[in-house]
Amino acid sequence: GENVEQHPSTLSVQEGDSAVIKCTYSDSASNYFPWYKQELGKGPQLIIDIRSNVGEKKDQRIAVTLNKTAKHFSLHITETQPEDSAVYFCAANPSGTYKYIFGTGTRLKVLA
């Protein structure tokens, strides 16, 4: 079955610096890769996603890159702000289905 690995588990950056979180997946049939931000005690919020027919997608300070050959995708946050502090999860859809397998999460701390 699909397995999604995520690194690092924790990440501290200075305000204004960039943050990069990486995920790898095992199922080559996966074709959709969302990223979610989860604040304490709340449900995950979709922040960006990418489909397998695209190599990169950007939305203001957030970008996602996908390398299908290597089966990994990354989240890039530039000009980080304290409000970016949260837990970030990547996910992939096994066998191209509508369900997700989540990565283990990255706790991002942006230091003011």
Please give the Cα distance from 2 to 25 (Å, whole number): 7
- Gap between the Cα atoms of 87 and 42, Å rounded: 11
45-84 residues in contact with another protein (CB under 8 A) are 45-46, 49, 51
Q: Which two tokens stand for residue 111?
A: 């230091």
Query: Distance between CA 89 and CA 34 in Å, rounded?
Result: 8
The mark string for 1-20 relative to another protein (x by CB under 8 A, - otherwise) is: --------------------
DSSP state of 53: T
Residues 84 to 103 in contact with another protein, rule: CB under 8 A = 89, 93, 98-103
Q: Does 108 bind another protein (CB under 8 A)?
A: no
DSSP classification of residue 82: G
Beta carbon nearer to another protein, 14 or 42? 42
Is residue 21 involved in binding another protein (CB under 8 A)?
no
Of 110, 92, 111, 87, the residue nearest 102 (C-alpha): 92
Q: Shortest gap between Cβ of 46 and another protein (angstroms)?
A: 6
Complex with another protein: residue 73 or 100, whichever CB lies closer: 100
Residues in the site for another protein, rule: CB under 8 A? Answer: 32, 34, 36, 41-46, 49, 51, 89, 93, 98-105
